[in-house]
Amino acid sequence: MRHLEVLVVSKDTTIPRILNWKVSTVDTIEMAIEKIQQRPYNIVAISNKFNLTDKVKLSQVVSVLYDNAILVEYTDNKILAETVKAAYWRANKPSSQSNYLDNSFEITLANCINLNK
C-alpha cells in the first residue's frame, strides 16, 4: 500500500502518528523548507505555535514549489490526524455531483432510422 506523506512542522518533541501516512517531523521553518525542496509532500501541517511571519514564509515556499500541496495549521497533537485527513480529503474528494449523459433520444432515433430501412 502506498502511504501518503505529511510533513509536520512543530516545536513539540513528540512524534505524531497518523494511520496509513508516512509522517516526517521538523522543528523549524528553515528545516521544513529544506525538506520540501528535497521531496514533495501531500500535506504540510504547521503548528499554530509558530509566529505569523514564519507561517507566511512557509506558505509562500510551498505554493511556489508545488501547485497541489496542501498547507494546514493545527492546534493540538491530539487532533492532528483528523486535521490532516480532513484537509486531504477536502482537497481530493471526487465531485459530489456526477454528470450522467442521457442518450435515450439517440437510441430511439437510431431505432427509428433502422426500422424505416
What is the count of structural domains for the chain?
A: 1
Residue 43 lies in a domain: yes
Q: Kindly list the strands in the beta sheet with 4-9, ordered across the sheet, starting from the edge strand earlier in the chain.
A: 21-26, 4-9, 43-47, 70-74
Q: Is the CB of residue 55 less than 8 Å from the CB of residue 46?
A: yes
> What is the per-residue pLDDT for 101?
56
Q: What is the CATH number of the domain that holds 22?
A: 3.40.50
Question: Nearest-CA neighbor of 12 among 33, 24, 26, 30?
Answer: 26
- Output the tens digit of pLDDT for each of the chain's 117 residues: 467 899 999 988 777 888 888 999 999 999 999 999 999 899 999 999 999 999 999 999 998 998 888 999 998 888 888 999 889 888 887 665 555 556 677 777 777 787 665
3-state secondary structure of 4: strand
Q: Taking the complete model, does pTM exceed 0.75, yes or no?
A: no
Look up residue 100 and give its three cell numbers. 450522467
Q: Is the CB of residue 15 less than 8 Å from the CB of residue 23?
A: yes
Residue 110 lies in a domain: no
Range of the domain at 78: 4-94
